[in-house]
Structure 1
Amino acid sequence: MTTNPKTDSLTRAIRGRVLHFLRDPQFHEDAYQYWDDGVLIVTNGRIAAAGDYTQLAARIPADAEIVDHRGKLIVPGFIDTHVHYPQTDMIASPSPGLLHWLETYTFPEERRFADPDYARGVAGFFTEELLRNGTTSAVVWSTVHKASAEALFAESEARNLRMVTGKVMMDRNCPEFLRDTAETGARDSADLLSRWHNKGRLAYAITPRFAPTSTEAQLAACGELARAYPDAFIQTHVAENRDEVKWVAELFPDARSYLDVYDRYGLLRPGAMYGHAIYLDQDDRRRLADSGAAVAHCPTSNLFLGSGFYDFHQSDANRLNVTLATDVGGGTSFSMFRTMNAAHKVARMGGYYLTALRMFYLATRAAAEALGWTDRVGSFSVGCEADFIVLDPKATPLIARRSNRSETLEEELFAFAMLGDDRVIDSVYVMGEAAHVPAA
């Protein structure tokens, strides 16, 4: 377990309005806990207690450091379940569609990550940008190069972040300069797994880019890795774009569906994160739910690339494990607030009303559940790592004006989701330590 000399004998009491989730508010009335005058007692970087200040004040040690955030809202740090750090510098690149965007911008940029120095520079900016936006954990894509994953692991370790990444595996239908083989992809992944998986707060994700860029031999190698490392994560894309779905059907004529391609190789299981999942049928949804795998819903990316609208009605009907993700650089912001904004509007286009309470749940506890991390992050349960953010309801004149009119918690959270961005983030704590405090 990672230790930090600053926190190993320190207790902090962080006072403010405290909110966290224990289950999905779409299906449970007692889904969250909220204390208008609340406190987090943090010892050795972990939650020792969370609740009403008047009830817990006597438990605060006399020598504890008191941090006063009264008037502001304290929530668990956001967890972004699908984001491409090598695409940081090509965010907001114009393109008529997914495949053109990959060929014109994505692949040429990812070529640069063969250079370890370049990868480290981007990884450093990327991790700081996550923190600036209140994201304290993420499931991240690197490139095909080992150096890219090494760089992100090193930068995350330096900041003591709970992060997941993996080198991309693709051995066909991509430029030669980004192509590995079934053998080298598996070998490099195994090397990275042995070095970084479960080192401190880091974890590894087996990462086939998407079915069209992997041969059956490579997908089989991914399945072998998954069996050899049963606690490793898996990340890939599925059913994002109609042309992509058609292409997969042509490349894998024996598969029942796009999702079935992965299922045949043992890649559907708890801890597997499937980006997008827009064009699934009922059999796919049932299988995805039964497997314990999760969906990373990427609304800003889906809108930007014109991919389509995620179906929340069918998602709920099948009780899919759905989470929120920025999908930078197809996604257009690192901000989980802007992602919530887009998710709400995408849902409305499908006749579904996505509440603010549920959006905050999807960005915190739901992601922790999907990753098997409910004892680590995503809530203020006793023993969890103290990764949390402080939100300022007076961050901008408009948000302040709207917040003053808010009569319910839902209304205030909705204002954050619709009007918020990085300016709402008052401060960010990682393992109980201030990791980002915006300049005054």
Structure 2
Amino acid sequence: MLKAYRGDIIFTPTPQEFSVLEDGFVLVEDGTVKDVVGSLGAEYAEVPVIDRSGCLIIPGFNDLHVHAPQYPQAGLGFDCELLPWLDRYTFVDEARFADPDVAERWYRRFLVDLWQAGTLRFSAFATLHTASTWRLMELAQESGLRPLIGKVNMDRNAPDSLIESTAQSLADTETLIHRAAERTPNVGFIVTPRFVPSTTPELMEGLGELVAHYHLPVQSHLDENRSEVAWVRDLHPDIPTYAQVYEHYGLMPRGRTVMAHCIWLNDAERALLRDRQVTVAHCAQSNLNLQSGIMPARRYLDMGLQVALGSDVAAGHVLDMTRHIVMSIEASKALRFIPGHEDERPLRLAEAFYMATKQGGSFFGRVGSFESGYDFDALVVREGDNLLDLSVEERLERFLYAKGGAAIEERYVDGALVPRPFAEKE
């Protein structure tokens, strides 16, 4: 059925500039965008109109890197760098998800808060616990959101409470692959080795075989922290770079890989990521919180890398993607004060918005824009009185910098209105 959504429409078909239509219409048929028009001609006289005049209508947000079980620790431990932070906070937190009651309570809260923030699709790490990971997938299916979720794999260099055998890790992963395919049609499975230091060569080899056999996507971490990079070099002295470790074991499938952080890539790694069409998840807030560095987003874009945004909760302290759009811009400005980066242009608003919408959405299909043939993933934003007679673009900027998720009134995924998840149980 064809419908028309009326409002002030703004999106980014390209990262260079916004496409804006004040008081226009998005025509949606069976959940898919048909067109964006300024008025409804005679051929659309009988089309029902969902009138949101005075509101912004923007694409939904996509978070390409988030840790669902770390949500309880958001905002903690930022005097630490990455590796001590994992030991003191993250591993302690994640071990608690062996308890299904803990998982139930926190995963519900996590999904509701993503909905509140307008994040409609996301790629999430769970824990190594099969039952709790499955419960997250079930709850996500119930929520109306459309994520990719992965059981974390780790069989070395972690506390005893978070170590699994190689065989059990692979068996549990394959169990969840089948279960997701059969029972959670709107929640995809993504293979999730935590990072190279926590996965043995045998486990990585087995995961690579699963990726190839089931044609699955992969998510992990890459070149986040200098100490981590050095650790990988010690563990794999026979492989030239951190990125090539993943490639060596079949964990960098072309066009189906998300690598978070990627701050300290060398030339060979950048070339490899470009060749493998890897999506780089830029997590600016996290990288500053844990003193990891600033990813040179401008250079990566100029080199042809695909850069999306990730919240990286809980190393990032909020889920709201408006904060991460802003932080990515601010970090690119701060980078210009570092020798060697003085002449780089900072990210522009349209570029950062594109990263959180169309670029991130491309990992899920035709998502993140209002171009013809795209899924209608949309947010209706009422950002307040327009006392300054602002343009649509200026109103979007004010929403991103000063309003955030609290200004979102409605959320649509694939054309369906998504109400607050689990409201009947609260």
Shorter-chain TM-score above 0.5: yes
Map residues 158-197 of structure 1 onto 2, 5 A cutoff.
158-197=142-181
Does 2:370 align with 1:380? yes
Which of 14, 26, 43 is residue 5 of structure 2 equivalent to? 14
Map residues 175-324 of structure 1 onto 2, 5 A cutoff.
175-197=159-181, 199-230=184-215, 232-268=216-252, 269-324=254-309
Shift of 1:357: 1.1
Q: CA offsets per residue over residues 387-426 of structure 1, 9 Å max, x none? A: 210122327xxxx55xx254572x4333333223222222
Does 2:376 align with 1:391? no
Change (3 A) 1:48 1:214: closer
Which of 123, 146, 152 is residue 107 of structure 2 equivalent to? 123
Which of 15, 18, 40 is residue 24 of structure 1 equivalent to? 15
Map residues 25-174 of structure 1 onto 2, 5 A cutoff.
25=16, 32-44=18-30, 46-55=31-40, 58-59=43-44, 61=46, 64=48, 66-95=49-78, 96-174=80-158
Distance in 1 between residues matched to 2:185 and 2:244, nearest whole Å: 34
Deviates more, 1:113-122 or 1:143-152: 113-122
Higher relative contact order (CA 8 A, sep 6+): 2
Change (3 A) 1:42 1:355: same
Deviates more, 1:15-24 or 1:343-352: 15-24
In the comparison of the two structures, how many residue pairs are matched? 411
For the 8 Å contact 2:222–2:262, the answer to whether it is kept is yes
Distance in 1 between residues matched to 2:406 and 2:187, nearest whole Å: 28
Distance in 2 between residues matched to 1:169 and 1:86, nearest whole Å: 14
Aligned amino acid, residue 221 of structure 1? G
For the 8 Å contact 2:320–2:405, the answer to whether it is kept is yes
Shift of 1:372: 5.1
Q: Name structure 1 gaps, 5 residues minimum.
A: 1-9, 26-30
Residue 414 (structure 1) aligns with: 397
* Structure 2 residue matching 1:363: 3-state secondary structure: helix
Q: CA offsets per residue over residues 167-208 of structure 1, 9 Å max, x none? A: 000000001111112211111111111111484222111000
Q: CA offsets per residue over residues 414-440 of structure 1, 9 Å max, x none? A: 33332232222222123333324799x
* Structure 1 residue matching 2:101: 3-state secondary structure: helix
Distance in 1 between residues matched to 2:419 and 2:38, nearest whole Å: 25
* Structure 2 residue matching 1:87: 3-state secondary structure: helix
Shift of 1:38: 1.5
Shift of 1:165: 0.5
Q: Name structure 2 gaps, 5 residues minimum.
A: 337-344
* Structure 2 residue matching 1:162: 3-state secondary structure: coil
Aligned amino acid, residue 84 of structure 1? H
Distance in 2 between residues matched to 1:274 and 1:156, nearest whole Å: 22
Residue 359 (structure 2) aligns with: 366
Residue 3 (structure 1) aligns with: none
Shift of 1:48: 4.8
Deviates more, 1:264-273 or 1:302-311: 264-273
For the 8 Å contact 1:294–1:322, the answer to whether it is kept is yes
* Structure 1 residue matching 2:128: 3-state secondary structure: coil
* Structure 1 residue matching 2:191: 3-state secondary structure: strand
Change (3 A) 1:357 1:85: same
CA RMSD of aligned residues (A): 2.2
For the 8 Å contact 1:37–1:52, the answer to whether it is kept is no
For the 8 Å contact 1:119–1:147, the answer to whether it is kept is no
Taking structure 2 as the reference length, what is the TM-score of the superposition? 0.91
Distance in 2 between residues matched to 1:135 and 1:57, nearest whole Å: 36
For the 8 Å contact 1:428–1:437, the answer to whether it is kept is no
Distance in 1 between residues matched to 2:9 and 2:391, nearest whole Å: 17
Shift of 1:298: 0.5
Distance in 1 between residues matched to 2:322 and 2:191, nearest whole Å: 28
Q: CA offsets per residue over residues 155-175 of structure 1, 9 Å max, x none? A: 111123211011000000001
Q: CA offsets per residue over residues 211-252 of structure 1, 9 Å max, x none? A: 00011111111111111122x110000111111111111111
Distance in 1 between residues matched to 2:128 and 2:104, nearest whole Å: 15
Change (3 A) 1:70 1:225: same
Shift of 1:379: 1.8
Taking structure 1 as the reference length, what is the TM-score of the superposition? 0.88
Residue 346 (structure 2) aligns with: 353
For the 8 Å contact 1:338–1:417, the answer to whether it is kept is yes
* Structure 2 residue matching 1:54: 3-state secondary structure: coil
* Structure 1 residue matching 2:190: 3-state secondary structure: strand
* Structure 2 residue matching 1:68: 3-state secondary structure: strand
Distance in 2 between residues matched to 1:83 and 1:259, nearest whole Å: 20
Distance in 1 between residues matched to 2:361 and 2:45, nearest whole Å: 28
Aligned amino acid, residue 18 of structure 1? I
Distance in 2 between residues matched to 1:21 and 1:345, nearest whole Å: 20
* Structure 2 residue matching 1:418: 3-state secondary structure: helix
Aligned amino acid, residue 56 of structure 2? L
**Percent of counterpart pairs with the same letter?**
32
Which of 406, 409, 413 is residue 430 of structure 1 equivalent to? 413
Distance in 2 between residues matched to 1:384 and 1:56, nearest whole Å: 22
